[in-house]
Every structure is written in structure tokens, then in C-alpha cells.
Amino acid sequence: MTAATLTFDDLPEGILAIEMSGDWLLGSSLPAAESLLARIGATPGPQGISFSTDSLGDWDTGLVKVLIAIQRAAEARGIELDQSGLPDGAQRLVALAFAVGEREGARRIIKRKGIFEQVGTATLAALDDLKKLLTFTGELMLSVGRYARGKATYLRSDVLQYCQEAGVEALPIVSLISFLIGMIFAFVGVMQLNMFGAGIFTANLVAVAMVREMAAIMTAIMMAGRTGAAYAAQIGTMKVNEEVDALTTLGMNPIDFLVTPRIIALVIMMPLLTMYSSLMGILGGMAVGLSMLDVTLVQYVQQTIDAVGLNALFGGLFKSVVYGSLVALAGCQQGMACGNSALAVGQSTTKAVVMGIVLIVVSAAVLTVIYINLGI
């Protein structure tokens, strides 16, 4: 393979003579044409351009690419181009490239957005999502009303199945996470409270923390990542397969048939999962307390019973109902808003988890402030 070379020289008649030699092949080292293009665009520029390819070897689109750049630069300056010295095949390819004009809008133009534009776009998107969520909530309230009046179309077996999926099948992960969280709380409590000779109050710390706050919020976050994502994926896939449209065609309300049973199931199961999570967390704390503190099992259990009041118990259960409804709402809303592609299903699933966790944290803060003001 002969190395490609590109030379040019100004002739007395104002003609720029370009000589190309060697093998012009893509993948090989081709000479740069920047200096030639700069000469064509210089002032004063040449009156015409001619080519000499007597020593040209093999060539492909690597040669054509340079020729197109030369012709564009020449046309921009109104310079006459003599292509008679080029191979016939190269002339035809260049002519073909300029015969079919570039389709308008085909070229991708990447425009950087300013910081204010990015903030504005994100704000408008958030407001639009909030509007869709409120609209969906209103449709859900109407569906719940139809359920209460016995006018909704649904299958009772579906509700039982959703209860099993959201409740019974979630027990292993809830057991593991809750037990470990209880152990962590107890370990921290023992290390700190023992400094003041109050290690026995580790039982109070673990029991109140789990029953009042942590059991509900940790279970809700697990449900957001597990059940909420499943709801979004299931309903989103049904939208892609046009099953939701089929229900509408059959005269069935998709909200009644697909959404409300799932929300009812999760609202029912969340308090039960929360109570179970509290128990597992207390057992985890008990395991650490009995191994690190000089207390008996009876003392630890009695201290736990004395620490947990009805206000803490029912306060945690109420929070679990709120969290469960929000997780189910986020999952079903994103599923119903899913686009008609496989990519949209994944995006809706991700949005469902993120929205569910955000709603959980915001509602937890609001409920905590309300509980403090009410003295609960």
C-alpha cells in the first residue's frame, strides 16, 4: 500500500492545481486537508481549481470525503471547479452526493441548555406530573365510591391474589430487614446508654422506634421497591399490549378493574406487615440486648411492654395505611401513564419507585409534625 499524499500549487493563471497520489483508503493514514481548505478560503482566492490524479492508486470513500469538502469550500467562494482530472467513479459519487440535498431537520443539532432553562423545564415537568397525579387521584376516589356502592366491575379473586403478592410473599424480605434494623438500633442504644448506666432503656429505644416510626417507613420503602414497581410494570405492560384499551372497548373501567383492587390489597396488608415488622425489629433488639446487657428475658420483655403505649401503636399503624396508599397510588399511576414501548415500561417502573419514596418521606415529615402538635 502506497501512502496517500496531497499537494497543491498556484498556477500563473489563478488556477489552484491539486495533486493526489497514493492509496486513499478509509482506515489508512490520510493526509489532512485543512491547509488546502484554508487556501481555498483565503483572500484573494484562486479563480479555479484543477485536479491531477495520475499517480493515484486504490481509493474508496476516503477520497470522496475530501473531494466533497473541497467542492463545498469552492462553491462557498464561487470558485470554478474542474473535475476532469478525477477518476470517473469519484466524479459520479461526488455528483450523487450533491444531487440529493440534505433533508431539513435530519442533522442533529445539540444545543446546550442554560441553567435557568434547565430549572424551568424541570419545574414545568414537576408541575405536570403533579397535575397528572391529582387527576388520577380524583379518578381513584370516584372508583372507590363505585366500590362502596357495589357498582364497580372487578374480581374478588384478584384482590385476594394481590393481598398474597403484597403481603405473604413479602414476609421474607420484611423479616430480614426489620430484624437487622432492630439489631442496629439496639447495638447503638447499648453502646450509648451503658455510658450512663441506663442500658436497660435500650428496650424502650428499640420498641418505640420500631412501633412508632421505623417499622412503618421501612416497610413502606420496601413495598415501594417491590410492590409499587411491580404494579407499574404489570399495568405498563398491559398498556403496551393494548389490554387496557381492550377493557375500555368491553365497557369496563380500567381504574375499577386494575387499579383499585391493587390499592385496596396494599392498604389492607400494610398495617399487618408493619405489625410484623415491629415484632421482628423488637426481636432483633432483644437478641442484642440479651447478649450485651445484664438483663433477663422477662425484664427485657416487661421493659418493652411498658415503653409501647396505644398512641405509639395506633400512630404507627395509621402511618402504614397512609404509606401503603401512596405507594400503590404511585405505582398504579405510573403504570397507567406508561407509553407504548418496552422502554416506557422501564421508565415508568423507575418513576414509580422514586415517586413512592418521595411521597413516603414527605408524608412522614408531615405526619410527624401533626403528631407532635397533637401530643401523640
Domains of the chain, CATH where assigned? 5-99 (3.30.750.24), 151-374 (no CATH)
Model confidence at 280, pLDDT cuts 50, 70, 90, reads very high
Buried b / exposed e over 91-110, threshold 16 CB at 10 Å, is: bebbeebeeeeeeeeeeeee
Write down the pTM of the prediction.
0.69
Partner residues linked to 19 by β-bridges = 7, 52
Burial class (CB in 10 A: 0-12, 13-18, 19+), 86: buried
Dig out the grid coordinates for 286 from the structure.
432483644
Query: By the 8 A CB rule, do 254 and 244 touch?
Result: yes
Query: By the 8 A CB rule, do 26 and 51 touch?
Result: no
Candidate ranges 19-28, 42-51, 353-362; pick with highest mean pLDDT: 353-362
Model confidence at 104, pLDDT cuts 50, 70, 90, reads low
Distance set, CA 240 to CA 153, 331, 347, 368 (Å): 22, 16, 13, 40
**What local confidence, expressed as pLDDT, does residue 106 receive?**
60
**What local confidence, expressed as pLDDT, does residue 101 receive?**
62
Report the percent of the chain where pLDDT is more than 90: 40
- What is the Cα–Cα distance from 84 to 137, expressed in whole angstroms? 73
**What local confidence, expressed as pLDDT, does residue 360 receive?**
94
Q: Closest Cα to residue 265, out of 139, 349, 155?
A: 155
- Average per-residue pLDDT for the chain: 88
**What local confidence, expressed as pLDDT, does residue 214 receive?**
92
Contacts of 265 (CB under 8 A, 6+ apart): 159, 162, 163, 165, 166, 167, 328
Buried b / exposed e over 226-235, threshold 16 CB at 10 Å, is: bbbbbbbbbb
**What local confidence, expressed as pLDDT, does residue 107 receive?**
62
Candidate ranges 23-32, 63-72, 84-93, 280-289; pick with highest mean pLDDT: 280-289
Is the predicted pLDDT of residue 302 greater than 70, yes or no?
Answer: yes
Which letter does DSSP use for residue 340 in this model? S
Distance set, CA 243 to CA 234, 239, 254, 258 (Å): 11, 6, 10, 11
pLDDT per position as a tens digit, 199-219? 889 999 999 999 999 999 999
CA atoms lying within 13 Å on the CB side of residue 251: 0
